[in-house]
Each structure stands twice: as structure tokens, then as C-alpha cells.
Structure 1
């Protein structure tokens, strides 16, 4: 884990070496000033006060004030530069995680899960960022203070040096014990934060289902259990942390008492003076405080290492849908999609989801796919925009294998309306312009009219500028589907893919929408996945899927006369009169 932590910091801190150099220089200056001040204080006591020389007190005191001012200014500058470097480091790591997550296929997104990716991009980055900040502020001053403090203390009186050695050894042993016990707890803590985020996300997203089934008490218990598990681990960490500072304080106080006890005897014997003893105590405190600062870094390091491990797991994961090294350009003509012997199997699956699927989408033609749940319809749809890559055969868009086509070029040719339409926080207009930012209001209203959404948008306060909540939760399911369809229409792609996108519409609205859609999409290829027979009866070609294979193809009338699977689907939905 520490190796990954070092890799992460080294990779993203490089642009800020200039700021870190400033930190090192300023911290060195501040530390040297702080190490020299106790010696000057000792001289004031031994040379000025004892000998009664006011001039010496004033002159040396003035030097101390000047050094203190330099020390304060240097520390302020060092903290500013260190904080700047750490915050920019955190920004870059968050950006890297976000960009890597955007490149993931559905396979990698399912592997990590949205709650875990959110935690890694927020809490985990914060842990490493804080370590970088504390390291920048303390890494220079702590070693210099420890080494310089020992040297300066020995200059004042070598006879008391054994007290420093004993205090540092005892502190070191205590630190090692703490770190050994904290490492595993930090790993558990991050995993339980993931679990808490997952439960909270599920409950907020699924609040309607929770209320519909009157499961509030059950979900409350579930949340309390997950929360209690996090509290349990956090409490254990807190207990160890609570032990740390009293332990350090105890060692510091005992060491001070020891120095004063044995130092008093040495003053009485004439080996040292009062000022020297005062300086020695000051140096002892500086040494122990620097040890405590190092302790804080060492305590933070295990948790930051766990977080870095989780961050690097994301950054080191390559998408299974990698962009081509040398992208090819597709034909200028837009709208032809060819499935050539396509097979697909999920990693580790016993059997493929799709088996030897072949068909062609051509401009001006509507192709429909129908089949039972689990037949592989949505998986097939996802292969066109390359949300997955085929494991056998190939998918060509405008004459080029999608695995060789530039991703931006590929996505610009496809207008996908997913099975579960998602709207983003913003307005109706911002959602409709998602695929075409420069679309005019006229184009938006045209798309809304075709999608049968213009009426309800006009009824909303603000019309195109009316607010849309995250996920589109402030509009109904049917309205959400129609807005998603309008969003695809605004883009005006060469291929329209509707993945069961009319399921939330009533039959009359469905019929009106399809009638309005026909002239708009007459120059494009249209692929419709549907569960409802009435949605696809007018399609130019209907593909019947069962168990990942195409078991029938033809028009509604042809399949009704010859395909048993299609006949079974029709009989389950329509009366004999409707079927005829």
C-alpha cells in the first residue's frame, strides 16, 4: 500500500515542485530561527539578568524579536505554499479519477459501483491530500528540529542528554504500537464508508419504492446497522488516537521534570547555569514536539495508504473498451449499422448472452427487436455505442468496426434513448441541448412537439427554462421518457436507438409519437426494442430474439403467420381482432 501511496503522490505532485521548493526553503529558515532563539534566551538570563546588564538584555531581546518575526513570516509563507500544492494535488487526482471513470465500460462501472467511486473521489482523495499538506508543512521542520535540537541541547549540557534519548525511545515504541494497530482499522473504515454511501444512495434513490411497500422501518434498521458498523470502527480508531496525545503529553511532562530535577543538581554543583537549563528544556520540548509531529504523519500515513490503494485501483484499471490506437474515419453517409456474426459473453459467465447475431440497419428503415425478458435485447443495443465490446464477430457503423472508429465520431452518429432515461440537474433546455449545445429554441420546440412533450413543457413555469431535478425526479416516468426522446431528436444522428423507450406511454400517446417520428427519422436508421406489440407492428423488419439468438425475422404479418415465438408473444398481448 505504501508503494502505491508513493506512486500516487509522485505522479501528481510533480507540477508543484516549485511550490514545494519554496516550502522547504521557508521551513528551513523558520526552523533555524526557532533553534537559535532558546540560546539567545539563555544568554539574556546568564549574561544580562544575572550580571545586571540592561543594555545586553535590550540588544539581545531586539535580535530575538527580529528572528521571531522572520520565523513567523517564513512559517506563514511555507503553510501557504504547502496548502496551495496540496489542494492542487487533490484537484488533479479527483480529475484523474473522474476522467478514468468516464472511460470505463459498463463492466468496470459495475465492478466498482457508483457509491465506491464517489467515496474514492471525495473521502479517499481528501485523506491523501491531508497527508501531502501535513508532510509539506512538517517534513522539513521535524527532522531539522530533531537533529538540530539534539545538537543545540548537547551544546548547552551533554550531561542531561540521556533524558532526551530515553524520551525519544519510549515515544518511538508507543508510535510503532499505534501504527500496527491502526492500519487494518483504517482499511475497514474506508470500506464501511463505501457501504454507508451505498445504502444511503439506494434509500434516497428508491424512496418511492420504500414508501410504496411501507418499508421505512426496515430501511431505518438497515441504515442503523451499517451506520453502527462504521461507528464501531471509527470509535476504535478514536480510542487509539485519544491515547496518543495524553501519552505524548505524559512523556513530555516526565522529561521536563527529569531535566529540572537532575539539572538543579548540576546547577548546584556549578556544571551549568540557569539560562543553560532553560535552553535545554526548550530544546527538549522542541525535540519531543517534532517527534509528536512525525507521529501525526505516521498515524495519517496508514489511512492515506489505504486510500491511495483504492485510488490507484481505479487509476490502474484499464477500460475493457479501449479507444483505438489509430482511429479510422467512417463513411460520410450516416446510418448504416451491421451486426456480423456477433456473440457476447460476460466475463466468467458459463454461457454467452448473444450467439451469432447478424442483421443490418439501413437509412430510411425501421427495425424492431422483440423477445422475452433476458433474451439479450438490451445487451445487443449496448454494443452499438460500444458500452461493451463484442467477444465474437463485429459491429460496423457506416462501414467501420466500432472498435476501430474514433469514439467521438461513433457517438456523434448515434442517438440512444436508454431503457431507463436519465435527466440531469438543470433545465428542460439544458437537458435537450446535451447532445447539441448550440441548438436553437426553435429546434428544441420542434423536438418536443415530435416527442409529444411540448404541451406539458408549456404548462411548466418557465417552459424551456423550468427546473429539472437530479434524475428527472420532478417529472413523471412518461414525461421523462418523452424528454429523453426529444433530447435524441435534437441531436439529429444517423442512427436512432430506442431501448424500450415507449413503455411508460399510454397507447394513444405512443401512436401519436410514432406517427410524428416517422417523417423526422425517414433519412436515418431506426432500431426499436419493445415489449409491446402495438409499438412495432409498422416496423419494416422485426427481429424475434430468444435465448440470445434471432429465431425469426420479417414483418408483423409474416411473423404472425410463420413464427411460433412471435405468435406466442402476440397472443399474450392482443386479442384475435387486434392481431389480425
Structure 2
């Protein structure tokens, strides 16, 4: 987290709990409305039972019997209307709060996770991150509405029911306390025992299935070319079977809990019926009140039937929250200084001084005492075998990682003294796997220059030899599919290069800029690139041969050492 993240909202912490606190008023209102709906339902059933019993007895006793018809009927109408209104408002407010929390949780997750990219998140599979972003947040965002709210409302309803029963006949209140503890707490605890471990296993199976499905769709062309689609389909089927098994075990636990709930409910209802009849025979309770106790018990047991689902939703939310925290709680590879300094201006010399670096957990040094200088307007190329550390060199230049030893300076200032955002504004980067996003040509270009004019975008398209293609597609507003699905590999690469050129930055870092292009097109593009750079500095990582005049110096990275060629 950056130093000013907490300043953004005063003293508010930038954690998951703060998202729920921000919507605490709506969540409290949802819980109150849920309680009101349950209370109206329980009261309606109890009052209706007493009313029907009183009416039946009055009819059986004949003309001499007295019966208060108007008060109970008015109460029934009032509770019915209250239940309808509160249930509508509960759904309206609850869904609104859930959607707001879902939105803010995703924003929070992105805000906390983006500083970890690509260094820390590079070790996580894309499908796994997608599962956490979709499934886990879906489990967390409704935790209050699906779990905490119903459980709190159930406690409130049980308390009101026990109090009402105590006013009528105190032994009945004791029986309701026992029933509430058994069916509201005991049964759910038994139904969800070892629930955290089971939910964690289910979440892993779900993430594995989503990951395999996502990667299979992403790599369908390669799977088809290698005749591996059937084998991959079998792996996906196996992952789906594991998830289905976890879901079956989950349902079996819930069904077992429901069966136990039904058994205890039946015994409890028989017990209340015996107590009510005994109290009526002893003259301690009038018949309508005795019937009200029985129907009150029925209503309370019906409300408590959803407690197992609420506990299960709570466990799922806890596991999902832990998985989200596992991602965002990682320490970033680099951090901003407490007292940053301004980036030197005008454009200055970038220098590597005795830089040493090895990836975490590895002993082999990819860079072992590297010295390099890149002056303003200078263009250099770095060659080397795959895995020798060329991309690592550019990652250190971008300050995605800090060197273990040595220093990288810009204008004599250590990069560790600069804010990351300030430093990144000085660089236009074209990584080896630069994506093309689903959107228009203009949408993709404006990622490099948000305020770029149409003229500027047409200019860079011309520089990368895509102008004619863009006109044929319908202009800057033409749609390009996800991952450049409507383009060839070479066209997608050139569009990404145009995006980098459009960024007004003094330093440009290109990682294999001509990948996917034929030799003639690549050479023509590099010559045009050299002319388009102007006074900008260039660090190019490449395997291919470069035309004369594209760069001024070439180096080879070998066994951690940077050797100048020529």
C-alpha cells in the first residue's frame, strides 16, 4: 500500500472491513428490516392461531359466549401489511447494499493488488486470480445479507418470542430457550462442523476448474495444433468431478442438518403442545393464549430452519475473505520512499552501477556487476540467449524490482528515492507479451496517451505501418476483438508499439518489438521507429538482426556480464 492510501479517506484503514464499515448504515437498515419481516411473520402466525382458536371456541359455546373479534383481526391485517412492506424494503435495500459492496470490494481488491503486479502477481495463474476476483468476492459481498443479518435477526426473534412466551406461561419460555439453542445453534454447528476446511477445499476445487477452463479457452489454438484438446478436456472433467463431489458433500451436510432440525422441531412442538394443554387444563392459560404458544413455536422453528444455510454462507465468506487477503497482504517487491525526491529534469543519464540481481529463492545471479549508461537521445540494444537476464534488466530499469547490490540512477538520483508513479511517467514500455484489449483502435491507443488527438493517433499508426489497415477496418472507432482476435499477430504487435510511441516519455523500453513480423516488415518498422523516436532514449531487447542506424550501441548479456559488441 502506498503511503498516501490511508490519507485518501482520513483515518480509515484500507482493508476489507473498511468496505463494510463504509456501508454500515445500509447494512444495519437491512438487518432491521429483516428482523421486522421475521417478527411480523412470527407475530402473524401466533396471533392468527390464537384468533382462530378463540373464534372456534366461541362458535362451539353458542350465543352466550363472548369473543373479541376486532382487535385480533386488526392486528392480523396490520402485521400482514407490515410483513409485505418490510419484506419488499428488505430485498430492495439488501440488494442495493450488496451491489454497492460488490463494486467497492472489486475496487479495493484492484487497488491493493495492482501494486503487486507484475512482480508478485506474476507467480499466480491468471485463472486463479480470476476465481478470486469473481467467486470469492461473490461469497464475501453478501456475507451480511445472507449470513450475519439473518443470524442477528434470528437472535432478536428468539429473544422476543421467549419474552412473549414468558408473559403467557414461563415454562413455555424455558422450552423455547432450549429449542432456540438446539435448532438455532446446535444443529447448524453439527451441520457445518469442520466447515472451514471443507469450504477451503471446495474453493480450491472451484478455482482449479475455473483456471483450467480459462487456460483451455486461451490456449485452444495451441491445444488444437498439438492434438491435445481431448486430453485437456479429460483434465477439465476431472476437475469438475472434484468440485461436484465437494458440492455433494456440502449438500449432504446441509440435508443432515435439516433432518435433525425436523426431528427436534417435531419433539419441541409436541412438548409445547403438552405444556399448553396442561396449562389450559389447570386454568393457568386461556385457550387462545395456549394456541398462540403452539403457533408461536411453529413460527420460531420455521424461522430457525434457515440458520444452517446462514452458517454455511458465513463459513464460505470467511474462507473467501482469507483467500482475498492472501493475495493483497503480500509485501510489494518495491515500495515508495518516506521522503521522495522529484524526478530530475530535463531528461538525464540513466546508469546501472555494479548491479547484482537474482530471483527470490534462486542462487544464480542473472546480473552480476552490470555497468551500463544510457544518455538522453541514445539508442542501445541488448542481446543474449533466452533466460540470460535481458528482461530482468528491463524490469530493474522499470523498478519492478530493486537490485540486491549496486544502484540504478537517473540524473545521479537513485531510483529508490523516487515515487514509482513519477518514475513510470518517464518510461514508455512495450513488453514481450503486450496485450491488445477488447475495444476500439482508439481505446487501445489512448492507453498510451489518454489525451491524444485523432491526428496524433493517425500519425503513430502511420509510423508503425498500420494506417491503411485501420482505414480498411473503418477508422479509429473500429472494434478489435479480445487479445486482438480480429488482427494478425504482427498487426497486434504493431498496434501495441503504436501505443508505446504515443506515450510522451523520454525513455522507451522495447522487449522484442518485432516479434511475429517477417524480416522485411520488421526492418522497415525498426527504421521508421528510429526516425519516430526523436530525442527519446531507447533500450531495446532483441534476438533479431538490426538494420544499420537503428541503435548506436549493442551489448550481449552473458553469464551476468554485459559485453559491448563491435
Partner of 2:342: 329
Q: Is the 8 A contact 2:16 2:105 kept in 1?
A: no
Partner of 1:553: 564
Match of 2:242 among 197, 213, 229: 229
| Alpha-carbon shift at residue 476 of structure 1 (Å) | 1.4
Partner of 1:441: 454
16-25 or 498-507, which moves further after superposition?
16-25
**Distance in 2 separating the partners of 1:528 and 1:114:** 27
**Distance in 2 separating the partners of 1:511 and 1:31:** 74
Partner of 2:493: 481
Q: Is the 8 A contact 2:139 2:317 kept in 1?
A: yes
Q: Is the 8 A contact 2:58 2:66 kept in 1?
A: no
Partner of 1:83: 95
| CA spacing shift, 1:46–1:353, aligned 2, 3 Å | same
1:276 aligns with 2:283: no
**Distance in 1 separating the partners of 2:132 and 2:38:** 36
Partner of 1:130: 142
| Alpha-carbon shift at residue 457 of structure 1 (Å) | 2.4
Q: Is the 8 A contact 2:32 2:153 kept in 1?
A: no
**Distance in 2 separating the partners of 1:37 and 1:199:** 51
**Distance in 2 separating the partners of 1:493 and 1:456:** 26
48-57 or 229-238, which moves further after superposition?
48-57
**Distance in 1 separating the partners of 2:487 and 2:200:** 41
| CA spacing shift, 1:191–1:36, aligned 2, 3 Å | closer
SS of residue paired to 2:406: strand
Q: TM-score, normalised by structure 1?
A: 0.87
Q: How does 1:228-247 map to 2 (within 5 A)?
A: 228-247=241-260
Deviations 1:94-135 (CA, angstroms, capped at 9, x unpaired)? 111111121114331023332222222221111122221124
Partner of 2:6: none
| Alpha-carbon shift at residue 295 of structure 1 (Å) | 3.1
Partner of 1:151: 163
Partner of 1:15: 22
Partner of 1:252: 265
| CA spacing shift, 1:24–1:499, aligned 2, 3 Å | closer
Partner of 1:289: 302
Partner of 2:480: 468
526-535 or 269-278, which moves further after superposition?
269-278
Deviations 1:327-352 (CA, angstroms, capped at 9, x unpaired)? 32122222632112211111111122
Partner of 2:314: 301
| CA spacing shift, 1:158–1:8, aligned 2, 3 Å | farther
Number of matched pairs: 547
Match of 2:324 among 307, 311, 331: 311
Partner of 2:224: 211
Q: How does 1:367-516 map to 2 (within 5 A)?
A: 367-459=380-472, 461-516=473-528
| Alpha-carbon shift at residue 221 of structure 1 (Å) | 1.0
Deviations 1:252-278 (CA, angstroms, capped at 9, x unpaired)? 234334433564455455554432232
Match of 1:540 among 549, 552, 556: 552
294-303 or 35-44, which moves further after superposition?
35-44
Q: Is the 8 A contact 2:187 2:308 kept in 1?
A: no
Partner of 1:113: 125
Deviations 1:263-297 (CA, angstroms, capped at 9, x unpaired)? 44554555544322321112212332343343332
SS of residue paired to 1:492: coil
Q: Is the 8 A contact 1:143 1:290 kept in 2?
A: no
**Distance in 1 separating the partners of 2:144 and 2:441:** 42
1:56 aligns with 2:68: yes
SS of residue paired to 2:370: strand
**Distance in 2 separating the partners of 1:312 and 1:131:** 16
| Alpha-carbon shift at residue 88 of structure 1 (Å) | 2.1
| Alpha-carbon shift at residue 314 of structure 1 (Å) | 2.3
In structure 1, runs of 5+ residues without a counterpart are 1-6, 560-580
**Distance in 2 separating the partners of 1:30 and 1:486:** 59
**Distance in 1 separating the partners of 2:484 and 2:501:** 18
527-536 or 345-354, which moves further after superposition?
527-536
**Distance in 2 separating the partners of 1:32 and 1:466:** 57
| Alpha-carbon shift at residue 54 of structure 1 (Å) | 7.5
415-424 or 78-87, which moves further after superposition?
78-87
**Distance in 1 separating the partners of 2:15 and 2:311:** 17
1:195 aligns with 2:202: no
| CA spacing shift, 1:196–1:318, aligned 2, 3 Å | same
**Distance in 2 separating the partners of 1:524 and 1:335:** 11
Q: Is the 8 A contact 1:49 1:57 kept in 2?
A: no
SS of residue paired to 2:356: strand
In structure 2, runs of 5+ residues without a counterpart are 1-13, 60-64
Deviations 1:360-390 (CA, angstroms, capped at 9, x unpaired)? 1122321111111111101101112222222
Q: TM-score, normalised by structure 2?
A: 0.89
Partner of 2:358: 345
Partner of 1:571: none
Partner of 1:365: 378
Deviations 1:418-467 (CA, angstroms, capped at 9, x unpaired)? 112211110112111211122122211211121122233233x3132221
287-296 or 538-547, which moves further after superposition?
287-296
SS of residue paired to 1:341: strand
Q: Is the 8 A contact 2:188 2:307 kept in 1?
A: no
Partner of 1:526: 538
**Distance in 2 separating the partners of 1:421 and 1:42:** 70
